[in-house]
Structure formats: C-alpha cells, structure tokens
Chains A and B, each alone.
Chain A
Amino acid sequence: METTTAFDLNQSIQRWREHLALSPAFQRENLDELETHLRDSIASLQSRGLSEAEAFQIASQRLGGMEQLHAEFAKTNASTAWRQRAFWMLAGMLFWTVGADLISIAKSLGVYAGSWITTNGLLLGWVGGALHILTFAAVLVGFWRLASGQLGLPERGTRIFGQPKLFVVLALVGLLVLEAGSVLLFAFTFKRLNPIATGQRFAVEQWVAGIIPVLKGIAMIGGLVWLQRRKVGKTAGLHAVTLTMLALTMIAFSGSPALASDTTQKPTAGKPAAATMAEVMKLWREGKQSDAVDKFLAVDFSKRPLFPTGSVLNLTEAEFIELPSAARDKMSKAMFDDIQTIKLIARQVKELAKTPAKSAQCLSQLKAAGEAFDRPGGLALLKLVGQAFKKMAAAQP
C-alpha cells in the first residue's frame, strides 16, 4: 500500500522526461505529448484509488520503456533529428560570428574614445583588452540565456523561419552592418594613433585577449559537462577540471614571454631616458645649448625606451622599412632633424670634455649613448651615429 517515504509526482515525471530527452529521437513536442499522456493516465488511475507512486509506476509502464519508444520514434524522426542538430549548430556558429563582431566594435569604440584622452598605446591596449573580456563575458551570458530559453527563444526565434525571405534579408543586412561597423571603427582608431602607439596597443591587447581561448574552453567544457550531467559520473567532471587546469597552466606559460617582451617597451621605473632625452632636444631647439648639454650628461642610457613614445628613433630598422611609404617619408624628415640635433649636442659634449674636471663624465656618457644607439637591429642611421660616438669617446686622450 502507500509508502511513508515522500513521493514527489512532479519530480518523478521531470526525471522520466529528462531520461527520455537524452535520446535525440524525441523532439520537444514529442516529449510534451508523451508527458500529457502520462499525466492523463496517472490521473485516471488515481481516480480508481491508486496512490500517486503506484499510478506513476503503472502509467509509465503502459507507455513503454525508453528503448522501445526510442526505436519507434527514431524511425519517424530520423531525418528531423539530425536536421535539428545541424540547425542548432549553424545557429550557434552564426551567433558566435555576431558575438565576435560585437566584441570588435566594443573594443574599437573604447579605444577610439580613449584616444581623445590619451595617445599612450599601452594604456589604450589595456582598455581594449578589458573591453574584449567584458564583451566576451556579456556574449557568453547572452548565449547561455538564449540557449536555455530564458529569452523566449526558440519559440519566438523559430517563428521567423516561417518567413524564410524575411529571415534571409534581415540576417544578411544585420551581418553586413555589423561587419562594416567593426571594420570601419577599426580603421578609424587605426588612423587616430601613430604606428608605434598602435603597435603597443595591439601588443597589450593581444596579451590580455590571450585569456579568451581559455575562458572559451572553460565555458564549453563546463557546458558539455552540464548538459551531459545525468549521463556522466564524477570521473568525467574530474576530467573536465583536469583539462581546465591544464589549459590554465598552458596559458600562464605562453603568456609570460609575451608579457616579458612587452615590458621591454614599457618605461622603466625612475627617471626614464625618454623623458630626459625629450628635454635635451627641447632645450637645444630653444637655443639653451649649455642647459641641453647638462641634461644630456644626466640621461640614464641604460633605461628604455630611449626616445619619447611615438618617436621614430625608437623603431628598429625592420619596423621602419615596413611602415607605409607615406608615413615613412613623413617620419624620415623628423628622423633627420632629430639625428642632426643629437649630433650637434654630441659635438658640444666633446668640446666640454676638454675641460679636465668634466672630461671623464662626458666621455663615459658619450660611450654609453653610443652603445645605446648602436643596438642590434636598431635604426641604421642611429646605429651609425652610435658607432661615431663610441669612436669619439675612445679617441679622446
């Protein structure tokens, strides 16, 4: 007769339904229909005096076992089963394409807005990277809500497929607008920044965005485990955790060299050489030659970068050659001016070296400057100047 252990009818029906749902042979509508049948059957048995548990037991037995039902339904739904799977796969891919565009747009917008405040490529890179991760998270949440039906899809969404022409037009226009928007915004931000700041921006952005594949992987592994959680045991969950840890370790290792190479471009703590060099050049151009020489003697040539952000002199020869020819012509002028100024200052320093009290300091500073300018792969013209400096420093008695 009736058992004392609590029997939850709705929970039992839910479990029964989820068990059937594991087979792709059943469409949602089929499950709805079978569930209604089961509930009708249970109600009728109960009215004849059976307990909830007994009625559920008998009703589900009369309906048939999972294997039996699966085999019969699969016959009629064979083609629809794979078509439905392919439909959702394609829908998912389209969604991620749109998501990638949204991420690109958000990033470009943020960096574009930021470029009116600062032209510091590193800072803008962090802004872009942060926006990338934030938008990615938003897209992920959106996808989850969409897939779990919280936004009223697929009912509302699939209704549009009743009008295929409208859907094709809407989807194509939407996609084109998104693509064009992301490309145009990208071009605008590109134009706002000089090549070096752009390079710095991308270096930082790339590094920050390096976490995305891991986040994506975690989200997908998590999703797969969650969807199959009734089928798989604890071991699969454990595998997922192990995989996730492995992925995280890999990103940590692959990320660090990128960060290291990135920091070589960052101004080091203390008085950066770039700032002092900027002052030296400025003083010289204002005609305050002796002040400029004094400042030159104070430059710490071991610090990088040597020249202010955006200066062509920071580029390597290879980077300089790869510049678009218009930019190269423009920058060549600035380069010749700067190098001319540096040479004039150096001549002044050489003069000063004749004063016994200042001699040692002047020569060692010339040598340090020479070594800093004559770096491997550096700008060819600057390298020549550096070599000349070193020779100058050595030739002095």
Chain B
Amino acid sequence: MYNSAMLSKELVAASSVPLVLSVLTEGENYGYALIQRVRELSSGQIEWTEGMLYPVLHWMEKEDLIESEWREAETGRKRKYYRLRKEGRKALQAEKQQWLTVHETLTKLWKQQPRLT
C-alpha cells in the first residue's frame, strides 16, 4: 500500500467529494466522464472502483450539493448529467480550506525534516 503512489482506500473515500465538486466547476458532467477526468489529471494514480462513485453522487444530490438530469447525448445514449449547486460551491470552499490546511501543514513539516520517508 504505502510503497506506491496509489491512494489508500481511506484517502480515496475522503477525497471523492472534493474531487467531484472540483471537476463539476468545469461544467456539468456524467459519471463515466467524471472518472475519466480524475484519472487523466492524476495520471492514473487515483483509481476508483467506478461503480462506487454513484452512491457518492446520489448522496451529494440528496445533500443538495449537486443536481442531476437525464439527457440524451449526441450518440443517442441517455446519460445522467450532474451539475453544481450553490450549496455545492459553498461546500467546495470549505473543503478547499481544509485540504489546503492539511497540505500546508504537511509541506512545512517536510521542509523541516527533509529526510522523512
């Protein structure tokens, strides 16, 4: 687990909500494309069990962070598109703050003790 750059299960779970919120700031999107986008940006380091994303999306929808709509794509295939809501933007701000806090703290620590591995 720790010898690879792959995210641990716990971290995947914790980061899924801010990741989804962040990708959706680029515009509405559907599940499959969302996963592709995260994989692409993380160079394949963040690998989700794809089906697990949907319960997260549904939970976020219930919490009014995002909203969804079934629409037909150009290919004729019906897809469920997710869109950011006001609540979601607020939640993203809070998430951003928290992740940055963790990041800054860790960065400072690692600068003081560069040999830590």
Contacts and interface: CB of A to CB of B under 8 A. Distances in A.
A41 B35 CA distance: 11
A76 B32 contact: no
Given A37-B32, A40-B32, A41-B32, A68 B80 contact: no
Contacts of A32: 78, 80
Interface string B40-52: 0000000001111
Contact of B80 (A36, A41, A62, A63): A36
A39 B55 contact: no
B110 interface: no
Interface string B59-88: 100100000000000000111100000000
Contacts of A37: 31-32, 50-51, 54
A71 to B, nearest CB: 9
A72 B50 contact: no
A76 B49 contact: no
B108 to A, nearest CB: 36
B54 A39 contact: no
Contact of A64 (B49, B59, B79, B80): B49
B37 interface: no
A30 B33 CA distance: 17
Nearest to A63: B51
Most buried by B among A34, A68, A72: A72
Number of contact residues on A: which range applies?
20 to 34
Given A37-B31, A40-B32, A76 B59 contact: yes
Contact of B50 (A29, A39, A62): A62
B76 to A, nearest CB: 11
B89 interface: no
A68 B9 CA distance: 13
A332 B8 CA distance: 96
Contacts of A76: 55, 58-59, 62
A73 B54 contact: yes
A2 interface: no
Give the bracket for the number of chain B residues in contact with chain A.
Answer: 10 to 19
Contacts of B80: 29, 32-33, 36
Nearest to A73: B55
Contact of A39 (B52, B58, B77): B77
A112 to B, nearest CB: 51
Interface string A60-89: 001110001100110111000000000000
Nearest to A72: B55
A36 B51 contact: no
Contacts of B62: 76
Interface string A286-314: 00000000000000000000000000000
Interface centre among A36, A62, A77 (most CB of B within 10 A): A36
Contacts of B51: 34, 37, 63-64, 68-69, 72
B101 to A, nearest CB: 28
Contacts of B79: 36
B5 to A, nearest CB: 19
Given A33-B31, A36-B32, A41-B32, A68 B49 contact: yes
Contacts of A69: 51-52
Interface in B1-57: 30-33, 49-52, 54-55
B66 to A, nearest CB: 14
Interface string A99-140: 000000000000000000000000000000000000000000
Interface centre among B33, B62, B80 (most CB of A within 10 A): B80
Contacts of A30: 54, 58
Interface string A2-39: 00000000000000000000000000011011101101
27 contacts: A29-B80, A30-B58, A32-B80, A33-B31, A33-B54, A33-B80, A36-B30, A36-B31, A36-B77, A36-B79, A37-B31, A37-B50, A37-B51, A37-B54, A40-B33, A41-B50, A63-B51, A64-B49, A64-B50, A64-B51, A64-B52, A68-B52, A69-B51, A72-B51, A72-B52, A75-B55, A76-B59
Interface of A: 29-30, 32-34, 36-37, 39-41, 62-64, 68-69, 72-73, 75-77
Closest 5 A-B residue pairs measured CB to CB? A64-B51, A40-B32, A72-B55, A63-B51, A64-B49
